């Protein structure tokens, strides 16, 4: 291959030809999708005033060829030279197998198919049966539909919220049908890397998945990693169902986007801030009856630290066991769970019970909203309130503390609970509803770092003190 760089960019396909030790052309090129797209074009024969096809031979898989046809299309072929000779002593004619068209088929997919053809020929099988099987192979979108039907919707390991989130991610990044303008903008700009749903699943390469992941990353690092988690589950299922022979969707943690712990970016609220928030919430309850339920939800969140969207706002009265001092959660992110009713949370529950009796008095016992601790105050899809962020902002402003995401209250509860329980990780894990000890240990590590900083501050103070 001729030495080329940014000062001497390649001009024609011949600039990519690999040369041997004697500087003679081997007639082969290390094909890439970019080379095929930009440099493989039909030739113009000026003498006869007509176009001629142009062919390039791959250096990686002997026999693999790609041709720019006169009509403008580009096709992959495999040239097989049968061994031995005919009865007349002549060599067998070469056999050409059409593999697929570019760019629907990538270079990596063509090379993979050549490997399958060579393996079939070696075993004495008809290569055309391999090609026919490949043409009948399901696309990724078709496999995903099967997976949804047979696994996602039927398996008990997927919670309703997980199913909903997974469907939305697949709709965005496989079907490419997003409802957010910002997401559609990213899809339009990275369409070629995102359109893997239309590809046959057995032809998808790891490079395709890397490019797909990189495109989604432009919408968010965390979202891209979650999409790759979905794809890993789907590929594992397809392997079990024998839809694919090999699972190429295997990525190390270092190959995905680095996900920083929220505690690395934002400190939890201190005990002083926690008390200011509690005091401000109580004031708002008295001043603004209209936001009573949202404020009560914030208080309960402060006292128990459970996930406010999926474990607090949707609580029902039949989940509250007054005698056992327990609130039971049949479905959570981590399965069945429960947490204790303490002195402070019991006060919140009593106020909510009083609100329930006053607002649903005289109505039918089966009123849907009456079954919830935080019934919706206006018409909505769900019978309970779903968003308390506006009230949260009011509380923070009144308390004169920094306004952070509501999820930080859960992290705050965990850090303070560990201090209050003298580092009892099991107690905090069970009460807070975490699945593993590892999730709680990060809060213990944060407390250690925080105490170390405090110790340094004290040390620096004494070091600067005058005698």
| In a domain? residue 4 | no
| pLDDT at 75 > cutoff 90 | yes
Domain boundary at 259, 288, 307, which? Answer: 259
C-beta pairs of 210-214 under 8 Å, 24+ apart in sequence: 210/255, 212/173, 213/256
More confident residue, 461 or 192: 192
Final residue of a structural domain among 197, 225, 259: 259
For 92-140, how does the pLDDT look when each residue is reduced to its tens digit (9 = 90+)?
788 899 988 888 888 888 888 898 888 888 888 888 888 888 888 899 9
Q: Which of 132-136, 197-201, 297-301, 403-407 has the lowest mean pLDDT?
A: 132-136
Output the domain CATH number for residue 240: 1.10.150
Q: What is the pLDDT of residue 294?
A: 95
What is the reported pLDDT for 451?
A: 62
CATH of the domain at 100: 3.30.160.390
What does the alpha-carbon distance between residue 297 and residue 292 come to, in Å, rounded to a whole number? Answer: 9
Question: Which residues are CB-neighbours of 52 under 8 A, at least 6 positions away?
Answer: 42, 43, 44, 45, 70
351 and 203 share one domain:
no
The domain of 247 spans 140-259
Domain count, the chain: 3
Looking at residue 130, what is its pLDDT? 81
Same domain, yes or no, for 405 and 288? yes
Dmax (CA) for the chain in angstroms is 111
Please state, rounded to an integer, the average pLDDT across all residues of the chain: 86
**pLDDT exceeds cutoff 70 at 463:** no
Are 251 and 198 in a shared domain?
A: yes
Is the residue at 461 inside a domain? no
What is the pLDDT at residue 4?
Answer: 52
More confident position, 11 or 180: 180
Q: Are residues 103 and 199 in the same domain?
A: no
358's tokens: 């006053």
- Has residue 467 got a pLDDT over 60? no
Helix, strand, or coil here: 347? Answer: helix
With tokens 């496999």, the residue in question is: 143
Picking from 190, 188, 168, the residue whose alpha carbon sits closest to that of residue 179 is 168
* Same domain flag for 185 and 218: yes
- 420-442: b (≥16 Cβ within 10 Å) or e: eeeeebebbbebbbbeeeebbeb
Per residue in 28-39, pLDDT (tens digit) is: 999 998 899 999
pLDDT band, very low/low/confident/very high, at 13 (cuts 50, 70, 90): confident
CA angle 192–193–196, rounded 5-degree value: 95
Question: Which uninterrupted H or E stretch holds 104?
Answer: none
What percent of the chain clears pLDDT 90, i.e. is strictly above it? 43
- Tell me how far apart the alpha carbons of residues 273 and 408 are, in angstroms, rounded to a whole number: 12
Are 83 and 169 found together in one domain?
no
Lowest mean pLDDT among 68-72, 154-158, 168-172: 154-158
Q: Rounded to whole angstroms, what are the CA distances from 341 to 227, 295, 328? A: 37, 18, 10
Let me know whether 325 and 194 are in one domain.
no
Whether residues 420 and 330 share a domain: the answer is yes
Cβ proximity of 452 and 458 under 8 Å: no
Whether 175 maps to a domain, the answer reads yes
What is the reported pTM? 0.58
pLDDT of the residue at 258: 79
User: Is residue 321 situated within a structural domain?
Assistant: yes
Residue where a domain terminates, one of 233, 259, 285: 259
């Amino acid at each position: 291959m001729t030495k080329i760089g940014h000062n001497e960019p390649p001009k024609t396909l011949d600039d990519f030809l690999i040369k041997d030790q004697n500087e003679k052309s081997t007639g082969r090129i290390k094909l890439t999708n970019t080379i095929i797209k930009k440099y493989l074009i039909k030739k113009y024969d000026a003498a006869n005033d007509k176009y001629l096809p142009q062919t390039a031979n791959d250096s990686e898989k002997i026999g693999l060829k790609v041709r720019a046809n006169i009509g403008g299309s580009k096709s992959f072929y495999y040239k097989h030279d049968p061994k031995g000779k005919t009865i007349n002593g002549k060599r067998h004619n070469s056999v050409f197998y059409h593999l697929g068209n570019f760019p629907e088929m990538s270079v990596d997919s063509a090379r993979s198919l050549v490997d399958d053809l060579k393996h079939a020929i070696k075993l004495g099988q008809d290569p055309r049966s391999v090609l026919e099987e490949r043409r009948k192979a399901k696309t990724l979108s078709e496999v995903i539909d099967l997976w949804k039907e047979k696994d996602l919707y039927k398996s008990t390991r997927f919670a309703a919220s997980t199913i909903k989130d997974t469907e939305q991610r697949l709709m965005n990044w496989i079907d490419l049908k997003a409802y957010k303008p910002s997401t559609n903008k990213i899809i339009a700009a990275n369409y070629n890397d995102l359109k893997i749903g239309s590809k046959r699943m057995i032809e998808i390469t790891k490079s395709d998945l890397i490019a797909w992941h990189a495109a989604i990353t432009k919408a968010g690092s965390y979202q891209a990693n979650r999409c790759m988690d979905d794809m890993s589950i789907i590929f594992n299922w397809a392997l079990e169902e024998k839809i694919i022979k090999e699972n190429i969707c295997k990525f190390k943690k270092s190959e995905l986007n680095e996900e920083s712990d929220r505690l690395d970016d934002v400190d939890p609220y201190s005990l002083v801030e926690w008390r200011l928030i509690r005091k401000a919430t109580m004031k708002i309850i008295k001043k603004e009856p209209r936001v009573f339920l949202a404020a009560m939800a914030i208080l309960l969140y402060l006292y128990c630290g459970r996930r406010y969207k999926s474990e607090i706002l949707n609580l029902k009265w039949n989940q509250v066991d007054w005698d056992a001092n327990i609130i039971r959660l049949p479905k959570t992110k981590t399965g069945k769970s429960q947490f204790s009713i303490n002195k402070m949370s019991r006060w919140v529950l009593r106020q909510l019970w009083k609100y329930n009796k006053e607002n649903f008095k005289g109505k039918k016992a089966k009123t849907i909203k009456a079954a919830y601790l935080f019934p919706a105050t206006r018409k909505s899809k769900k019978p309970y309130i779903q968003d308390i962020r506006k009230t949260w902002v009011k509380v923070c402003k009144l308390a004169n503390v920094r306004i952070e995401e509501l999820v930080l209250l859960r992290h705050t509860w965990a850090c303070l609970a560990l201090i209050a329980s003298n580092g009892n990780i099991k107690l905090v894990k069970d009460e807070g509803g975490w699945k593993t000890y590892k999730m709680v240990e990060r809060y213990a590590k944060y407390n250690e770092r925080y105490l170390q900083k405090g110790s340094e501050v004290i040390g620096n103070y004494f070091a600067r003190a005058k005698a």
